[in-house]
């Protein structure tokens, strides 16, 4: 047990460093690409290749994670991440523009693959270490990750102010290499021990669960899409958010600060979620509805659309980002535990349920970030930022209503089945007693 706690702490530290690394990229690379005359549309495509890499990797892992050594996949992810940082450092303004674009696309894709490998294995480890308290430990894990996302842009901006583009990535790559050398001997030791224990404890399970079987499960689809619709609130704001902030202030760093408020709130609200909300014994269904409702409210604040009669000010927008950050901490940590629970109820004998749940989580994150940005761009261009966000809030409200009603119907249906089963059992016992009496 003590070894498990140490392993969990090391995984949290690794998550903090990793997320700082991903977010470190944000204030540096777009500025460099703009200075080379690359259009904003193409920069958006380059940035999205992170999610495309993660999406492709999650599709691969959903089939083969059960058969692969988790230890080897972790090593591969760390190596790819370090190589990507050194790769970004090699991009020079003297390169032809085509070479810069190609390298940026390729390296961003590699970053996405590395993220998916490390994140999926870390999530899987939590499902094995704490099968009974997954919600709590995922929330704790997300606190560390959220802190990293908050620190990354700040650290990147500070280093970029004093160093050249290449030196920024060299510094982070060297730092990350040193931290990997310090953390990985322990990580690999615990990972090998855990894999050996799992191999010995479950040799008689059936063949692995398949993606097709999961996608036929209505409970899974309901949960999967309520997560996607809710998390998409964070993504749909991104294409037009910078321009929207500049309608209220001319300060160039204001956008980063406002986004940072959301990330910081996400991290810090984890303590509130763990110590108060999860102790109130809400069902996961109610937590999804609560988180989705707050996400919807945040979109109305971030506009705000004139029909909401909310004051149009930077303060209202900052409050909206705080609400958005808080809402994500309510529903993100419970997705993997809920998927595991659904698959367990559906089929207890198949193996690979935990691996599949972690892959589906990575898949959902990547899918949402890709399509969320596209939807946000279309809504912003067609209707403007304020009305576009209000329209998406209405769509989310509709799905939350559908989710609440349909989930309730399924609960009532299951209760009726259980009551009928109990009645039939009682009737069978009465018949048996009468036959014995006769």
Helix or strand or coil: residue 206? strand
pLDDT digits (tens, 9 = 90+) for 324-366: 999 999 999 999 888 888 887 776 666 777 888 888 888 888 8
Q: Kindly list the structural domains of the chain, giving each domain's residue range(s) and its CATH number in brackets, ordered by start.
A: 1-203 (1.20.1250.20), 211-438 (1.20.1250.20)
Question: How open is the CA angle 197-203-209, to the nearest 5 degrees?
Answer: 105
pLDDT tens-digit map of 42-54: 877 887 888 899 9
Measuring CA to CA, which residue among 368, 339, 373, 366 is closest to residue 113?
Answer: 366
Environment class of 374 (CB within 10 Å of its CB; exposed 0-12, middle 13-18, buried 19+): middle
List Cβ neighbours of 188 (8 Å cut-off, separation of 6 or more): 71, 74, 75
For residue 408, the tally of other CB atoms under 10 A from its CB is 11
Residue entry with tokens 């997954």: 134
Q: In sequence order, what are the beta bridge partners of 208?
A: 351
In 3D space, the residue among 377, 111, 138, 108 whose CA is nearest the CA of residue 235 turns out to be 377
Q: What is the CA radius of gyration of the chain?
A: 24
CA 389 – CA 303 distance, rounded (Å): 7
Whole-model pTM? Answer: 0.81
| Helix, strand, coil abundance in the chain, percent, nearest 5 | 85, 0, 15
Q: What is the pLDDT of residues 412-425, one digit of tens each?
A: 545 544 554 455 55
Identify the residue whose tokens are 């650290």.
155
pLDDT band at 3 (very low <50, low <70, confident <90, very high): low
pLDDT at 200 over 80: no
pLDDT at 264: 85
Q: Is 210 a residue whose pLDDT tops 80?
A: no
């Amino acid at each position: 047990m003590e070894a498990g706690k140490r392993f969990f702490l090391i995984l949290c530290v690794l998550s903090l460093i990793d997320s700082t690394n991903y977010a470190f990229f944000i204030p540096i690379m777009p500025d460099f690409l703009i200075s080379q005359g690359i259009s904003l549309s193409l920069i958006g495509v380059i940035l999205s290749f992170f999610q495309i890499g993660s999406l492709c990797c999650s599709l691969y892992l959903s089939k083969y994670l059960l058969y692969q050594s988790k230890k080897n996949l972790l090593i591969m992810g760390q190596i790819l991440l370090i190589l990507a940082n050194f790769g970004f450092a090699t991009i020079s303004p003297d390169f032809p523009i085509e070479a810069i674009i190609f390298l940026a696309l390729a390296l961003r894709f590699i970053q996405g693959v590395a993220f998916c490998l490390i994140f999926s294995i870390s999530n899987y480890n939590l499902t094995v270490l704490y099968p009974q308290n997954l919600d709590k430990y995922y929330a704790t894990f997300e606190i560390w990750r959220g802190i990293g996302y908050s620190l990354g842009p700040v650290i990147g901006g500070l280093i970029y102010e004093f160093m050249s583009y290449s030196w920024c990535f060299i510094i982070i790559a060297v730092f990350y290499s040193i931290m990997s050398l310090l953390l990985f001997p322990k990580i690999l030791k615990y990972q090998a021990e855990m894999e050996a224990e799992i191999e010995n404890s479950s040799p008689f399970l059936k063949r692995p669960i398949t993606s097709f079987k999961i996608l036929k499960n209505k409970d899974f689809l309901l949960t999967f899409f309520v997560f996607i619709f809710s998390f998409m609130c964070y993504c749909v704001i991104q294409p037009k958010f910078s321009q929207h902030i500049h309608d209220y202030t001319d300060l160039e760093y204001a956008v980063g600060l406002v986004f940072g408020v959301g990330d910081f709130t996400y991290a810090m609200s984890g303590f509130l979620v763990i110590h108060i909300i999860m102790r109130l014994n809400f069902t996961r269904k109610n937590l999804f509805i609560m988180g989705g409702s707050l996400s919807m409210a945040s979109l109305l604040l971030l506009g705000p659309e004139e029909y909401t009669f909310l004051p149009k000010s930077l303060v209202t927008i900052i409050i909206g980002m705080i609400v958005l950050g808080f809402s994500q901490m309510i529903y993100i940590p419970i997705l993997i535990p809920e998927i595991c629970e659904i698959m367990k109820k559906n089929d207890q004998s198949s193996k690979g349920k935990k691996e599949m749940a972690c892959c589906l989580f990575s898949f959902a994150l990547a899918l949402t970030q890709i399509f969320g940005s596209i939807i946000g761009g279309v809504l912003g261009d067609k209707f403007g930022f304020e009305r576009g966000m209000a329209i998406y809030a209405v769509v989310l409200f509709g799905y939350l209503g559908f989710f609440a009603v349909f989930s309730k119907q399924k609960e009532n249906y299951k209760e009726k089945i259980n009551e009928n089963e109990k009645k039939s059992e009682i009737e069978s016992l009465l018949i048996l007693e009468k036959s014995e009496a006769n």
